[in-house]
Amino acid sequence: MQRVQCHRPESLAGHNFPEVSVGGRCIEASRIARELQYHPATALKDAWHAAATSLVIHALLVCRADQLKIQADSDEQRIALLLERELRVPDPNDAQCRRYFQNNRSRFHTPVLLQVSHILLIAQADDSQRRDQQRALAARMLEQLTADPEAFAELARQHSACPSAKQGGALGQLTKGQTVAEFEQEVWRLPQGLWPHPLETRYGVHIVRVDHRAEGLPLNYSDAADRIRQYLHEQATRTALSQYLQLLSQEIGVTGINFTTADSPLVQ
């Protein structure tokens, strides 16, 4: 798997990217270089394209605000006034919300409740030798725990580098967002009981036991209606903004990049 990188302005040194302009006005290469750091990507060309697209979007909106003589203290305020004036998105009606609910019922339920214990065998991500040692230790400990499940708390107290070691590895009840992303991504999929494979995060190798798992309960439409209405309105707003920017790009003119807005953070 390729690693997403945060590219710095100096990353463009020695690379020859095209000149980008909006309405005949050039966007300086130095501005694109400074924008790079806000658009992490595996490849420099992808980061450059995302950075250039972001600046093109800003330039298009400022240009349109100039055309309409919209005045404010900052470009951001002018853009907000412009979109309020030109981007009209109707609120979804009740029938649309109910239809979405009926077609996507599996998405609407109370949160899954998890109680988790773990043993953290610490190893930095770039220390391959230490990682291998901890993987081997984790494998031996999992064999021991399979034979003697009651040994978990004592092994946690002896080996875990997490403060939860004092509680025998118990993290208690988890909610999403409490743990690092790579741990959370895996642990919420696990069934109740000792997971027979180690999990790895930026901190090291984890042995994980799900002590209790309660699946979420289905929500009624009345409980989900506000979320659905907000989601549909945001979706319609993104679509309308994307179409609006495409129209502006055709009217004002963009050169130097293949201008699309679907993946731009501004539209998202």
Instruction: Report d(CA 241, CA 235) in Å as an integer.
Output: 10
- Strands (E) in the chain, as ranges, are 20-22, 25-27, 113-122, 170-174, 193-194, 199-201, 204-214, 254-255
Question: β-strand 193-194 against 204-214: which pairing, if any?
Answer: antiparallel
Mean pLDDT of the chain: 91
Instruction: Report d(CA 142, CA 118) in Å as an integer.
Output: 12
Name which of 46-50, 97-101, 154-158, 218-222 the model is least confident about. Answer: 46-50
Q: What tokens were used for 63?
A: 């240009």
Residue 79 identity (one-letter amino acid): I
Name which of 22-31, 34-43, 239-248 the model is least confident about. Answer: 34-43
Residue 160 has pLDDT above 90, yes or no: yes
- Domains of the chain, by residue range, sit at 9-92+226-255, 113-214
* Mean of pLDDT values over 116-139: 95
Q: What tokens were used for 128?
A: 């391959």
H/E stretch holding 251 reads helix 221-252
pLDDT, residue 268, reads 52
Contact 131, 217 (CB under 8 A): no
Q: What tokens were used for 116?
A: 């988790």
Helix (H, G, I), strand (E, B) or coil at 226: helix
- Place 2 in a pLDDT band, splitting at 50, 70 and 90: very low
* Mean of pLDDT values over 23-36: 93
Residue 40 has pLDDT above 90, yes or no: no
Residue 4 has pLDDT above 60, yes or no: no
Question: β-strand 20-22 against 25-27: which pairing, if any?
Answer: antiparallel
- Place 1 in a pLDDT band, splitting at 50, 70 and 90: very low
| Prediction pTM value | 0.65
pLDDT, residue 6, reads 63
pLDDT tens for 215-262 read 889 999 999 999 999 999 999 999 999 999 999 999 999 999 988 765
Name which of 12-21, 44-53, 112-121 the model is least confident about. Answer: 12-21
Residue 7 has pLDDT above 90, yes or no: no
Which of 267, 245, 258, 261 has the alpha carbon at shortest distance from 60?
245
pLDDT, residue 97, reads 97
pLDDT tens for 97-116 read 999 999 999 999 988 889 99
Q: CA–CA distance from 89 to each of 58, 66, 82 (Å)?
A: 21, 23, 14
End-to-end CA distance of the chain: 25
Q: Is 3.10.50.40 the CATH number for 113-214?
A: yes
Contact 115, 175 (CB under 8 A): no
Name which of 154-158, 178-182, 225-229 the model is least confident about. Answer: 178-182
Instruction: Report d(CA 116, CA 199) in Å as an integer.
Output: 13
DSSP string, 62-87: HHHHHHTT---SSHHHHHHHHHHHH-
Residue 136 has pLDDT above 80, yes or no: yes
